[in-house]
Structure 1
Amino acid sequence: MCGIVGVVGKNDATKIILNGLKRLEYRGYDSAGIYVAGSSNHLVKSIGPIKNLEEKLTPSINGTMGIGHTRWATHGKPTESNAHPHTSENGELILVHNGVIENYDALRQSYLSEDIFYGQTDTEIAVHLVALFKKQGLQTKAAFKKALSLIEGSYAFALVDTNDSETIYVAKNKSPLLIGLGENFNVLCSDALAMLDQTSHFVELMDGEMVTLTATDAIIENPAGEVIKRDYYVAELDASDIEKGTYPYYMLKEIDEQPVVMRKIVQKYQTIDGEIAIDQDLLTTLKSSDRVYIVACGTSSHAGWASKKFFETLTHLPVEIHLSSEFGYNMPLLSKKPFFIYLSQSGETADSRQVLVKTNELGHPSLTITNVAGSTLSREATYTLLLHAGPEIAVASTKAYTAQIAVMAVLAKALGTEKGIANAVEFDLFHELGLIATAMETMINEKEHLEELTANYLSATRNAFYIGRGNDYYVSMEAALKLKEISYIQAEGFAAGELKHGTIALIEEGTPVIGIITDAVTGQHTRGNLQEVKSRGANTLVISSEGLAKPDDQILLPTVHPLLTSLLAVVPTQLIAYFATLQRGYDVDKPRNLAKSVTVE
């Protein structure tokens, strides 16, 4: 959700910034802009894809310093006047911003009532505020610092003064921002992926910090003005990791990578002796807890639901799943010794972070399971477990979902074994994850069959339903989310037994209903529900495990451990969503209105 890049100290600033913006496209955006300073200054903005901006950039637009931005509209429509960078009224100051300034209207009325604004964004208020304090006699840095003391909300700012082509002023609060260190140059970015072709050395910024960035230095100060010394970390990624290679879309590449991710999780969490490599202190803390609260959003929330049964089975700890956006403002009565698990692909999810801040204030221990080392949720939680899934670029999450479930299974196995619970001690998890990986490959190789089924069932429909019971219901929720977020088919996942309690009224002639059956106990009940909708005109499709399959079932899943069927059952539904989107002519990786990293509440 929005992206910032910047560089100071390199001759090809325009190219560096443009390439960085392209690598941030996955975050979601509707306009983009760039400011470059050199022998002359240039500000260029456009709406739509990055290529529209690129077409406006002539060879003369270059310099040694610049900032760029991709905007996902919050305040004001996606227009060129609302696109970043924004300028002060006199054009002297240039600023880009990620986040939301909550008190922007109060600031405008109190300080800027005489100013002329060209757009409707909260960001324009910020740059005008800095300009006001500079006009009152403060230097740029001091004016910026004073403005920061008044601004409430979330922000990642990059500010430049057109009279100084050697300095970028940077500030962060609640929105992600990194400093990248180079040889006689430095960069800034919302995500290390954006600048991996320039450096692998990055410095994390903490909330409230401000940075004076030049080609040779990055001076970090806290709100009190004290200089902070912080070591860099090395991003354990290769620039090639974020390329599509021969794939037409990132989503297809990431679906295909899931077997490799399963095997990598085994590799990362298994010791030479075959034991589980989990921090003992984490297990001790979990062992003393009386309830686990999984807090997450969207796909990560579905991964939490898919993990609930095996976690309770292997650990004998009750598990609750909560949506971050609801939990933060409607916190339920907690148990005496709660333990919080935050699931987030990016580790920057704003809704989850506001819950973590509150549970930290209450003194409750927490674990973040994320794909991004050093992310905000990782830094601020008590413990972290990494997904080791590699960069996930497509907006629709696939491999991060299955990785979250697999890592939750690793944690459950480790904790259950620590507690001496027979179900966990006897559960050969790493062997089962190996079987899952092989079964995933089998399903991935069924692309032609799945593409044909998708065309037959979903090519002309306006809506569709997934149904199942137990874990199959939780997979149905995720399957429906994948379908609607990229193909725009109005899809919903329902508990099969709830159909006759209201939902069956939506069934019309030809309505696609996809049933998922991997559980021996509830499978026959789900088949009965499929017959109920079929008799009312539904066009039914069945995804079933081989041991439970009937001759007419269209998609057969290899047999895997019953606690882990969610890992496999979701794969054909990911491919169905992919093919449904292609067949409707939409962009698989960049669905409308959505962002990969949701960094505002």
Structure 2
Amino acid sequence: MCGITACIGTENSVELLIDGLRRLEYRGYDSAGIAVKNENGISVTKRVGEVSELVAAVEQNPISGTFGIGHTRWATHGGVTDGNAHPHTDESGRIAVVHNGIISNYQPLRAELESKGHTFSSETDTEVVPHLIEENLRNGASPEAAFRAAIGTLSGSYAITAIIGDEQAIFATRSGSPLVLGVGDGEYYLASDVPAFIQHTPRVVYLHDGDFVVTTPDGYTITDSAGRSVDRPIEYIEWDPETATKGGYEHYMYKEINEQPGALRRTTQGRLNTHTGGAELEEFPPGAFADISQIHLVAMGTSHHAGMYAASLLNARGIPAYAFMSGEYSVIKPPVTPNTLVIAVSQSGETADTLDAIRRARAAGARTLALTNVVGSSMTRECDDELLLRAGPEIGVAATKTFSSQVAALALLAERIAEDYNGTKSPDSRELIDALARLPGDVQEILDTSIAREIAIEYEDSDAYFFIGRGSAHPVALEGALKFKEISYEHAEGFAASELKHGPLALVTPITPVFAIFTGHEDEATLSNMKEVQARGAPVIAVTSDESREVVEFADHVLTIPDTHPEVAGILANVQLQLVAYHAANLLERPIDKPRNLAKCVTVE
């Protein structure tokens, strides 16, 4: 949620800040604003609505500056108003601050500041920060010391950047919310995520919790909370900047659906040995998982569905594995031992619920592993081990290529763990590895031949949409329903196929199409469920290979997937369901890349 951008050492800071905010729109927001430093002080413009509203305001009343900060806000404290939008300033207007996260102790801080004569103009938690800095300056502190002291009084999660007085500098810090530094040629950037500045520099410094950074036109310094210098390496982002743009597609989501063959090749590259039929993960040499007795997969949303898929693969190999919604992990409190492996699954590596879950697991003595798409993310630093997806940037709020890559990577990891746990490869390991090697081509075949748009047109006026599947097809059904509802705003539900007759069958009518997913496992039982809903008048769209003759014979419509290993078929079925959701939402003219009330990276619980 929310987005921060900042730049210094450039001549066109307003243009760069606005461009950075545009590139962070996928994170979800309800207002946007910028503050820039110029010879007259600090100029602030902020507006409710999309970045386009901010642009219109700047065009109407132009501002300029040599450096500045920007923000897209997602309302948490206070309503969606211009006054509550960021940046926030002190009373004099000489300090400007933007903030992601939640300051949990802002109320007593605000009360104390008000008792000292400070007047607040917003309902936000963020506004205490510029007032705290102002109070420290009044007491004789230097700008940097005033910033540090203000941060030292805060509780909660935050990424904060600030402009203070006449200092030719941007001050920033993070704790529990992402912030990265971009290093250009005589210019420097700060942002919530790399796409904000990837057009200008591929060199990135990932800041750690507790880091303080001061950027000036001449360079930057990074220190810890005690003021000691710390060394953070510059890493090179290998994305082509074009991969963070729409590239001619109408929506990021559709582009990312079509990028799945390439993403899957990167995910599996160097990790498949088709000669031995094994998974080769250089991160985990033989014996790396020899002492593991059980596995917990913690994640939220789409990543949770990938975790459920992986749990079914691990259980099939005789390994006790359980998928938990990370937001419920601290409530359920499943037993954890030193021989428990907790796998955190997150596209961004910054998901607040999942970070909390792995921290609790580590405190209980578990080993932790991060499966994420983002190098240098909080999870990669906090977990004992990491496995990167290498899927490339994903901008659309609805996760597509990262789900496919998560499941593919988890299938490889399941094979690798099974070798240590069982002392040998799985009986059909070679067939699975061969199927994963064919996966990019199989996905491309679906993209080239899918009739998903025709299906979306056929059932556009339906009352609701149901998705059913068994085994690893169950999380695919849940994911298919999630994609459909989050971008189309239509009612959609996913069920285990076996659950239908225990209640949901009461909802089935001739205007509730049912998508039945067949993967080559327990297909006869799912076929029976398909006939049950047809007997109630519901049309059935089967997602299956054309080898399933009986399924094809009985289905009203078929979304075909190439014949493959049953444990891989769910990935292919999911691609078909992504296309159905996309085309359904497009027919309804929904804002597909930015669904209402949702954000790409959920950094508050």
TM-score computed with the length of structure 2 as normaliser: 0.94
Alignment partners' CA distance in 2, 1:310 and 1:368: 18
Q: Which segment drifts farther, 540-549 or 558-567?
A: 540-549
The residue aligned with 1:570 is 574
The residue aligned with 2:200 is 198
SS in 1 for 2:516: strand
Deviation of 1:305 (Å): 1.1
Deviation of 1:217 (Å): 2.4
Supply the AA of the counterpart residue of 2:544: S
The residue aligned with 2:263 is 261
Deviation of 1:190 (Å): 0.9
Deviation of 1:547 (Å): 2.5
Deviation of 1:467 (Å): 1.2
The residue aligned with 1:150 is 153
The residue aligned with 2:219 is 217
Supply the AA of the counterpart residue of 1:233: E
The residue aligned with 1:293 is 296
Unaligned runs of 5+ in 1: none
Deviation of 1:425 (Å): 7.2
- Of residues 423, 426, 429, the one that matches 2:426 is 423
Deviation of 1:306 (Å): 1.3
C-alpha distance 280-388 of structure 1, shift in aligned 2 (>3 A) = closer
Q: What number of residue pairs does the alignment pair up?
A: 596
Supply the AA of the counterpart residue of 1:543: V
The residue aligned with 1:478 is 479
Deviation of 1:270 (Å): 4.2
The residue aligned with 1:550 is 552
Alignment partners' CA distance in 2, 1:35 and 1:150: 24
Deviation of 1:221 (Å): 1.8
The residue aligned with 1:161 is 164
Supply the AA of the counterpart residue of 2:575: V
Alignment partners' CA distance in 1, 2:233 and 2:426: 44
The residue aligned with 2:321 is 319
The residue aligned with 1:590 is 594
Alignment partners' CA distance in 2, 1:34 and 1:277: 48
Q: Which segment drifts farther, 499-508 or 390-399?
A: 499-508
The question of 1:141 aligning with 2:144 is answered: yes
Supply the AA of the counterpart residue of 2:468: I
Alignment partners' CA distance in 2, 1:3 and 1:16: 14
Aligned residues of 2:336 and 2:365 also touching (Cα < 8 A): no
Supply the AA of the counterpart residue of 1:473: H
The residue aligned with 2:385 is 383
Supply the AA of the counterpart residue of 2:70: G
Alignment partners' CA distance in 2, 1:115 and 1:132: 9
Alignment partners' CA distance in 1, 2:164 and 2:90: 10
Supply the AA of the counterpart residue of 2:598: L
Aligned residues of 1:84 and 1:95 also touching (Cα < 8 A): yes
SS in 1 for 2:452: helix
Identity of aligned residues (%): 38
The residue aligned with 1:19 is 19
Alignment partners' CA distance in 2, 1:424 and 1:196: 45
C-alpha distance 286-91 of structure 1, shift in aligned 2 (>3 A) = same
Q: Which segment drifts farther, 101-110 or 268-277?
A: 268-277
Deviation of 1:401 (Å): 0.3
Alignment partners' CA distance in 1, 2:270 and 2:38: 47
Q: Which segment drifts farther, 324-333 or 265-274?
A: 265-274
SS in 1 for 2:484: helix
Alignment partners' CA distance in 1, 2:458 and 2:361: 48
The residue aligned with 2:502 is 501
Which deviations, in whole Å up to 9, do the C-alpha atoms of 1:120-150 show, x marking residues without a partner? 1111122222222222332322222122111
The residue aligned with 2:104 is 102
Deviation of 1:175 (Å): 0.3
Alignment partners' CA distance in 1, 2:338 and 2:387: 24
Paired residues for 1:338-377 under 5 Å: 338-377=340-379
The residue aligned with 1:189 is 191
Deviation of 1:482 (Å): 0.3
C-alpha distance 424-137 of structure 1, shift in aligned 2 (>3 A) = farther
Deviation of 1:288 (Å): 1.0
Aligned residues of 1:487 and 1:577 also touching (Cα < 8 A): yes
Deviation of 1:191 (Å): 0.8
Alignment partners' CA distance in 2, 1:264 and 1:214: 37
Alignment partners' CA distance in 2, 1:292 and 1:312: 10
Deviation of 1:586 (Å): 0.6
Aligned residues of 2:296 and 2:322 also touching (Cα < 8 A): yes
Aligned residues of 1:461 and 1:489 also touching (Cα < 8 A): no
Q: Which segment drifts farther, 63-72 or 214-223?
A: 214-223
Paired residues for 1:458-477 under 5 Å: 459-477=460-478
Deviation of 1:481 (Å): 0.4
Aligned residues of 1:212 and 1:219 also touching (Cα < 8 A): yes
Q: Which segment drifts farther, 591-600 or 498-507?
A: 498-507
The residue aligned with 1:518 is 519
Alignment partners' CA distance in 2, 1:68 and 1:171: 15
The residue aligned with 2:43 is 42
Aligned residues of 2:336 and 2:366 also touching (Cα < 8 A): no
SS in 1 for 2:553: coil
Alignment partners' CA distance in 2, 1:65 and 1:94: 12
Aligned residues of 2:7 and 2:188 also touching (Cα < 8 A): yes
Deviation of 1:541 (Å): 2.1
Paired residues for 1:319-338 under 5 Å: 319-335=321-337, 337-338=339-340
C-alpha distance 192-246 of structure 1, shift in aligned 2 (>3 A) = same
Which deviations, in whole Å up to 9, do the C-alpha atoms of 1:460-512 show, x marking residues without a partner? 23422111221222110000000011101121101122122122222344122
The residue aligned with 1:2 is 2
Which deviations, in whole Å up to 9, do the C-alpha atoms of 1:299-353 show, x marking residues without a partner? 0010111122323334x32111011111034321224510111111111111111
C-alpha distance 283-465 of structure 1, shift in aligned 2 (>3 A) = farther
Q: Which segment drifts farther, 140-149 or 272-281?
A: 272-281
Deviation of 1:283 (Å): 5.1
The residue aligned with 1:400 is 402
SS in 2 for 1:57: helix
Aligned residues of 1:178 and 1:192 also touching (Cα < 8 A): yes
The residue aligned with 1:452 is 454
Which deviations, in whole Å up to 9, do the C-alpha atoms of 1:359-409 show, x marking residues without a partner? 222332211111111111011111111111111111000110010011111
Which deviations, in whole Å up to 9, do the C-alpha atoms of 1:101-126 show, x marking residues without a partner? 11111222233345332221111122
Aligned residues of 1:22 and 1:50 also touching (Cα < 8 A): yes
The residue aligned with 2:57 is 56
Which deviations, in whole Å up to 9, do the C-alpha atoms of 1:406-431 show, x marking residues without a partner? 11112222333455434257424442
Supply the AA of the counterpart residue of 1:368: A
Alignment partners' CA distance in 1, 2:22 and 2:427: 45
Alignment partners' CA distance in 2, 1:531 and 1:426: 34
Alignment partners' CA distance in 1, 2:165 and 2:332: 46
Deviation of 1:152 (Å): 0.4
* Regions of 4+ moved over 4 Å: 270-276, 280-283
Alignment partners' CA distance in 1, 2:529 and 2:269: 41
Aligned residues of 1:11 and 1:62 also touching (Cα < 8 A): no
SS in 1 for 2:39: coil
Q: Which segment drifts farther, 369-378 or 203-212?
A: 203-212
Supply the AA of the counterpart residue of 2:533: V
C-alpha distance 465-138 of structure 1, shift in aligned 2 (>3 A) = same
Aligned residues of 2:432 and 2:567 also touching (Cα < 8 A): no
Supply the AA of the counterpart residue of 1:572: Q
The question of 1:117 aligning with 2:120 is answered: yes
Aligned residues of 2:415 and 2:429 also touching (Cα < 8 A): no
Alignment partners' CA distance in 1, 2:170 and 2:264: 42
Task: Give the aligned CA root-mean-square deviation in angstroms.
Answer: 2.0
Aligned residues of 1:413 and 1:427 also touching (Cα < 8 A): no
Aligned residues of 1:167 and 1:214 also touching (Cα < 8 A): yes
